[in-house]
Amino acid sequence: MREAAQPTENVVPALTPATVLRLYLPLAFSWVLMATDGPMSIGVISRLPRPEVNSAAFLIMMSLAMWIESPVIDLLSTSTTLAKSRARVKEMTRFALRMIFFVTAAHSLVALTPLYEVFTQTLLGVRAEVAETARAGVIIMIPWSGMIGWRRHWQGVLIRCGQTRPIGFGTVVRIAAMAGTALGLYGLSSMSGVSIAATALVVSVGAEAAFIHFIARAVLADPSPALDAPSSDGPLTQSRLLSFHLPLTGTTLLNLATLPIISAALARMPHPLLSLASYEVANTIIYLHRAATYGLPETVIALLEGQASRRVLARFSGIAGAGLSGIMLLLVVAGQDRAIFSRILGASPPIVETAHVLFTASCALPFLDSIHGYIRGVLTAYHQTVSRLVAVVAGVVALGAVLVLGVALAWSGPLTAALALTLSLLAEIVVLAWHWTRRKGDIVGSEGPLGATASG
């Protein structure tokens, strides 16, 4: 499909780092706060009976839940890129509701039918005890995907309107609901650790989705220059939306498949229960550092206009990623990662030591994420969504190759996982950069990304 995209009306001609920072900081703040879901969940689980089994079950539950929700995750990018008028917002809302129905039905089928055993025990090779412990949480998480999709759709509209601060406030609402629910159930109920975590996650995401919904409706009620400009590329139809969104969905579907793939590999390596539990503990803190880079693609999409802005955004992205990787390295050198795992997350000494190995080997990930996020944002702004899908295929192949080798040679699970993630991300970056270099002359017009003709 070929279509002409439109310029973002609220971008100043001379983009400065300060302008980027103002738009990016609330998004980064939101992502980092969201990343505290994991530490809070593991902190509760580690203080309840059977912590190793429940930590491993939490990893399985989140792997399945996030993989199932993948079709709605990129509603954020789709709305940010395409919701450029009130008519388009209405069409986008219809599209989002259809996607929400689909993922909710899919989650219900997996959670409530024998498909659950097929996914967890047959495909992932998870021990029956861990799979059974995780199932209650997977059932509780049935509304999760739909609420995530609704929230991300309206967050995209807010970003298009230049209103990123409410997104940060919405995440504060989410974390408050998460903490209140988790602590309340920890003190007053006899639920398992993974069930408490699942309930807290559902309540918190529901609260955030409701907050973002009402804020977005209030923004739409007032005149917004970002939504009142005429569009020259024709009406936004459901078929055009599907053509733009499906490659993003495929990208995220494959990308999130890495979670169950890693879980399956760890379950087949030496000391599987320790490896699974340690991976979940370490990843909660690794994810905190990586999450701050996840607002970069939407920042690039909203602000990209011509070569000068690309240079500013590229430099900003690289500095942000390097700083986050540096923080991880400092934690390792100072020994504070172990302190976080033991004192804050309450992990046992064997888990702490194994998680330390994984954390140390993952220090480069935030920097690579920042490069990855910048190129993804540029390509999405030019409607080059298929390139992202091709890159993720290359990344999954690289990840799978390392994990298969690790299982065959009985390597250390945490080290293998860190190596697989790093090489997978590098493979994606190489493919994305190659695609951009090869197509740059064809898709970059004198009017900037949103005035150029793009295919994809």
Nearest one of 404, 415, 284 to 337, comparing CA atoms: 284
pLDDT at 447: 40
* pLDDT at residue 228 in the model: 63
Decide if 269 contacts 410 (C-beta within 8 A): yes
| Tens of pLDDT, residues 199-231 | 999 999 999 999 999 999 888 887 655 566 555
Beta carbons of 96 and 153 less than 8 angstroms apart: yes
What six digits make up the tokens of 139? 């059932």
- Model confidence at 122: pLDDT above 70: yes
Provide the token pair at 41: 């969940």
Mean of all residue pLDDT scores within the chain: 86
Average the pLDDT over 231-242 and give the result.
76
| pLDDT at position 195 over 60 | yes
Rg, Å, the chain Cα set = 21
Average pLDDT over residues 123-143: 90
Domain extent at residue 426: 2-455
- In this predicted structure, what is the pLDDT of residue 298? 87
Please say if the pLDDT value at position 132 is more than 80.
Answer: yes
Q: Would the CA dihedral through 349, 283, 253, 261 be positive or negative?
A: negative
Q: Residue 324: is its pLDDT beyond 90?
A: yes
Q: How high is the pLDDT of residue 453? A: 38
pLDDT on residue 84:
78
Neighbouring CB atoms inside 10 A of 441's CB total 7
Q: Name the least confident of 20-29, 52-61, 395-404, 445-454.
A: 445-454
Which one has a higher pLDDT value, 6 or 142? 142
pLDDT in tens, 20-60: 999 899 888 888 888 888 788 888 888 888 888 888 888 88
Most confident region among 32-46, 115-129, 143-157 by mean pLDDT: 143-157
The CA-based angle 139-201-171, given to 5 degrees, is 150
User: How far, in Å, CA of 255 to CA of 453, rounded?
Assistant: 28
Q: What pLDDT, on the 0 to 100 scale, is given for residue 407?
A: 92
Say what the pLDDT of residue 454 is.
Answer: 38
Report pLDDT for 451: 42
Give the pLDDT score at 348: 87
Provide mean pLDDT across the span 147-156.
94
Report pLDDT digits (tens) over 326-369.
999 999 999 999 999 998 888 889 999 999 999 999 999 999 99
Number of domains in the chain: 1
Q: What is the band of 161 on the pLDDT scale with cuts at 50, 70, 90?
A: confident
| pLDDT for position 448 | 42
Would you say residue 452 has pLDDT above 90? no
Structure tokens given for 295: 């607002």
3-class DSSP state of 411: coil
Provide the whole-model pTM. 0.75
- Give the model confidence (pLDDT) of 92-101 as tens digits: 999 999 999 9
**Tens-place pLDDT, residues 243-299:** 888 888 888 888 777 877 888 898 888 888 888 888 888 988 998 899 999 989 989
Q: Predicted confidence band at 233 (pLDDT cuts at 50, 70, 90)? A: low
Yes or no: say if 289 and 337 are a contact pair by the CB < 8 Å rule: no
Q: Which residue has the tokens 């064809």?
A: 442
Instruction: Give the pLDDT mean for 108-115.
Output: 94
